[in-house]
Amino acid sequence: MSPELLFQQALNGLSFGALLFILAAGLSLVFGMMDVVNLAHGAFYMLGAYVALTVVQFTGSFWLALAAAPVALGALGLAIEPLLLRHLRGRHLDQVLLTIGVSLVIVDQIGLIWGREVRSLPFPPGLDGTVVLIGGVYPVYRLFVIAFGVALAAVIAVIYRRTKLGMLIRAGVEDAEMLGALGVNTDRLFALTFAVGAALAGLAGVIAAPVFGLQPGMDVDALLYSLVVVVVGGLGTLGGAVAGSVLVGPVDTFGKVLFQEFALAVIFAIVALVLLFKPTGLLGRIRIAR
């Protein structure tokens, strides 16, 4: 591999990793707070992309879609938590199973409402061009994805460390029951957490749509990738989601190109390897394995 090629592929890997971060951040947040792995996360991602498609069709504005989809998904999350998950509080495994059902319903409804054709979202004007970097031109949009991922991580970090909400989240991740005992309205907090998680999935769906397109089955891929990221990085912490994305994005990119015969197995092999040597994931505190 020439240095130019190496550089370009590294950028490809980083922008893919940035997208994975946006996708996995919500999953990680919900897990950290509620001890629930939301297996409908991929379905939320898919729904976000399709909402964006409709918004772009009617208004022509990608930026409006980027705002509307997370709002719509947040609203859905705000409804699902009290309607379904709350009844099973404390029964984490059952809550996870419930999300399988939610995912089946959402994905099927998307097929009925939007059809099952393959679709694509145009790149937003202004970001559809290229810039000259080492080794030739590079798409602006992919640089935008990197910037967006970094900015989102920064915003989440600030909220985490500097605001009351962040304080509650940090406390909740440590011990959600104790928060309730201290008089915090955990019902509201959990509903809000789940809504934010869903909104982040929707956001990832919009960001990914121009690059990856829209089609049946995209939910499963997104779910698998986000699970891999949080397991590899470490569950329930922001740092873990960042570390997982930064590792998985480039490794997947290089892996696919260098080991084409095993392209599909590469990321899952990373899971096995990381857990073998670091049972908590890279930056996690909870032992996932062993």
Partner 1 sequence: MTRAARWVALAAVAVGLVTFPYWSAAWETSRFATTVLRDMLVFAIFALSLDILVGHAGMPSLGHAAFFGGGAYAAGIASQRLGTDQLPITLAAAVLVAALLALVIGLLVVRSEGIFLLMLTLALAQIVFAIAFQWTAVTGGSNGLAGVSRPTLFGIDLSAPDRMYVLVAATFLVVSLLIWSLMRSPYGRALTGVRENERRMRALGYDTTRLKLSAFVVAGMIAGVAGALSAYSQRFVSPGDAGIGTSVQAFVMVLIGGAGTILGPVLGAGVVMYIQRVLSSAIPVSETVLGLVFIGFVLLARQGIVGLGRAAYARVRAP
Partner 2 sequence: MGGFTKMNGLAAKRGYTYRLTRRQFLVASSAAALAACAPAAVTPGASGSPSAAPGKELKIGQLLPFTGVYAELGNSMRRATELYLRQNDQKLANRPVKLIYEDDTNVTATGIQKAQKFIDQDKVDVMMGVVPTPLAYGIRNAVHEAKMIFIDTNAGGNALTRDTPDCKPACKSPYIFRSSFSSYQISFPIGDYLSAKGTKDWFLAYANYGFGTESKADFTTGLKKNGGNVTGEVAPPLGNADFAPFVTQIKNQPTKNVYSFFSGADAIGFIKTWNQLGLPAAGYKMYGAGFLTEQDVLKEVKDLANGAITSLFWAVELDNAENKKFVADFQKQYPLLPDVFAVQQYDGMRALDEALKKLGGDTSDKDKFSKALEDVTFKSPRGDFAFDKTTHNPIQDIYLREVKTTGGQTVNTILDKIAKVTDPGK
How far apart CA 67 and CA 202 sit, in angstroms, is 10
CA distance 224 to 114: 23
Choose the one of partner 2, partner 1, none that binds residue 215, judging by a C-beta under 5 to 8 angstroms depending on kind. partner 2
| Spatial CA neighbour of 221 closest among 81, 20, 4, 12 | 20
Q: Which does 256 bind (CB under 5 to 8 A by kind): partner 2, partner 1, none?
A: partner 2
Q: Which does 130 bind (CB under 5 to 8 A by kind): partner 1, partner 2, none?
A: partner 2
Q: Which is nearer to partner 2, 92 or 256 (CB)?
A: 256
Compute CA distances 53 → 112, 175, 195, whole Å.
15, 40, 21
Listed residue (284, 212, 277) closest to 23, CA to CA:
212
Nearer to partner 2, 54 or 215 (CB): 215
Pick 60 or 111: Cβ nearer partner 2: 111
Our CB check for partner 2 shows the closer of 181 and 260 to be: 260
Residue 171 binds which entry of partner 1, partner 2, none, CB below 5-8 Å type-dependent: none
108 contacts: CB under 8 Å, gap ≥ 6: none
Q: Residue 274 touches which of partner 2, partner 1, none (CB < 5 to 8 A by kind)?
A: none
∠ CA(247), CA(254), CA(28), 5° rounding?
25
Least separation, in Å, of the C-beta of 114 and partner 2?
11
SS3 state at 138: strand
Binding partner at 60 among partner 2, partner 1, none, C-beta below 5 to 8 Å by kind: none
Smallest gap, in angstroms, from Cβ of residue 213 to partner 1? 20
Q: Report the residue number, 154 or 224, with the smaller CB distance to partner 2.
A: 224
Q: What are phi and psi of 263, to 5 degrees?
A: -50, -40
Binding site for partner 1 (CB under 8 A): 31, 35-37, 84, 87-88, 92-94, 96-98, 100-105, 107-109, 112, 220, 224, 227-228, 231, 235, 261-265, 268-269, 271-272, 275-276, 279, 286, 288-290
Residues 29, 34, 35, 39, Cα dihedral to 10°: -70
- C-beta closer to partner 2: residue 10 or 84: 10
Report the chain's terminal Cα–Cα distance, integer Å: 38
Binding site for partner 2 (CB under 8 A): 2, 4-5, 8-9, 12-13, 15-16, 108, 111, 115-120, 123, 130, 135-139, 141-142, 208, 210-213, 215-218, 221, 253-254, 256-257, 260, 263-264
Nearer Cβ to partner 1 (112/132): 112
**How far out from the chain centre does Cα 246 lie?**
13
Instruction: Choose the contact partner of 35 out of partner 1, partner 2, none; CB within 5 to 8 A by kind.
Output: partner 1
Residue placing its CB nearer to partner 1 in the complex, 98 or 242 = 98
Nearest distance, CB of residue 138 and partner 2, angstroms: 8
88 binds, among partner 2, partner 1, none (CB under 5 to 8 A by kind): partner 1
Nearest to 159 by CA among 203, 185, 192: 192
CA-nearest of 5, 20, 4, 3 to 248 is 20
Task: Return the number of other C-beta atoms located less than 10 Å from residue 135's C-beta.
Answer: 15
CB 175 within 8 A of CB 48: no
